[in-house]
Amino acid sequence: MEKNRFLLDKKKQLSKKDSSNIGSWDKKIAGLCNKINKKKNYYTTSSCSGRIVLLKYSDKKIADAFLFRNHGKVSFDLLKKELNRISKEYSGLVEFQMTSCIMHVACREISDAFLIVNKSRECGWKRSGVMGNKRNICELHSTENMSFPVMDEGEMMVDDEYLKLVLGIANSKLVRVWKKIDRLKGII
């Protein structure tokens, strides 16, 4: 009975319209998601290939937090253009973030969950683990992250040299994340 429930849940999940803000898988992680979803004992419930964002700072989750979001490398000119636009539209504290790849995978059996977590860790997704309650869900997560305030009340808090430096680091971290995605795709 439980195995049939898993198959029904998988079919339902994979037939659902994508409810993410971008409406589809990130291109850099789509191949891995497809490969996992073709496996009989797994299906993905959410994913992100890593991104660079500017968002409204808040202690609480807010619906319209994103002021800029990009799942690829970002040029300094684009970042400055977006910061200039934001300075005219928003007066609160603006945070720069580079976030790592993350995905949630439903697994038929707990042993399947531990198998994919171990493979993920081998590929550098060090913050991966099993979350279980009614379903066996794995959170596969890498460690590359950056977060700091860049603007408040429409005024920059950092200079261009600092922004260039951290943007270069953020772009390098994204490339490292994408290599981890490719490594995991190769051994799944």
Which CATH number fits the domain that encloses residue 62? 3.30.1960.10
Q: Which value, to the nearest 10 degrees, does the dihedral of the CA atoms of residues 112, 118, 121, 125 take?
A: 10
Kindly indicate the confidence band of residue 134, based on its pLDDT and cuts at 50, 70 and 90: confident
Length of the chain: 188
Residue 18: pLDDT over 70: no
Residue 26: pLDDT over 60: yes
pLDDT 10s digits, 140-172: 999 999 999 999 999 999 999 999 999 999 999
4/37: higher pLDDT: 37
Kindly indicate the confidence band of residue 1, based on its pLDDT and cuts at 50, 70 and 90: very low
Specify the amino acid at residue 6: F
* Mean pLDDT, the chain, whole residue set: 93
Round to whole Å and give the CA distance between 155 and 18: 36
Task: Supply the range of the domain harboring residue 161.
Answer: 2-187
Specify the amino acid at residue 26: D
0.95 surpassed by pTM: no
Number of structural domains (the chain) is 1
Instruction: Name, in order, each residue with C-beta under 8 angstroms of 184's C-beta and a sequence gap of 6 or more.
Output: 32, 119, 120, 123, 125, 140
Round to whole Å and give the CA distance between 36 and 27: 15
pLDDT 10s digits, 70-110: 999 999 999 999 999 999 999 999 999 999 999 999 999 99
